[in-house]
């Protein structure tokens, strides 16, 4: 069965500093990986996704993520955070075969941005 672990429950970062959110997955075949962001009181918005090809993926809002197969990781990064980046971030893995909507989500990392 597939699983996703986000080791950091909370991260506090100063505005303008860099941010890295960790995501480790467990899946027997080629994973399909996603990062979503959730602002307070809202649904989830897709930041970026990885299916194949270049292991460094660019997303919206200045985010990028790097797929490292050897480490089973898909960490999310942003070089310089803005106050509006304060939100909860979810990593998710999807099955490589047609399996309906079966995304498995990590527990989330809440990002707090200090002025």
Partner 1 sequence: NAGVTQTPKFQVLKTGQSMTLQCAQDMNHEYMSWYRQDPGMGLRLIHYSVGAGITDQGEVPNGYNVSRSTTEDFPLRLLSAAPSQTSVYFCASRRTGRNQPQHFGDGTRLSIL
For residue 46, list its beta bridge partners.
36
Does the protein bind partner 1 through residue 49 (CB under 8 A)?
yes
- C-alpha to C-alpha distance for 106 and 88, rounded to whole angstroms: 11
Kindly tell me which of 86 and 103 has the beta carbon lying closer to partner 1: 103
Nearest to 110 by CA among 5, 12, 4, 1: 12
Q: How far is the CB of 20 from partner 1 (least distance, A)?
A: 19
Q: How far is the CB of 14 from partner 1 (least distance, A)?
A: 25
Q: What x-and-dash track marks residues 58-97 binding partner 1 by CB under 8 A?
A: --------------------------------x-x-x-xx
Geometric angle at alpha carbon 48, from 47 and 54, rounded to 5°: 155
């Amino acid at each position: 069965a597939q699983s996703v672990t986000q080791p950091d429950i909370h991260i506090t970062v100063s505005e303008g500093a860099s941010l890295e959110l960790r995501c480790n997955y467990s899946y027997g075949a080629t994973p399909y990986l996603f990062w979503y962001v959730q602002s307070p009181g809202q649904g989830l918005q897709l930041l970026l996704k990885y299916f194949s090809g270049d292991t460094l993926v660019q997303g919206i809002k200045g985010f990028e993520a790097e797929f490292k197969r050897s480490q089973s990781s898909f960490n999310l990064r942003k070089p310089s955070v803005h106050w509006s980046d304060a939100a909860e971030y979810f990593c998710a893995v999807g099955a490589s075969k047609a399996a309906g909507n079966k995304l498995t989500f990590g527990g989330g990392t809440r990002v707090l941005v200090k002025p």
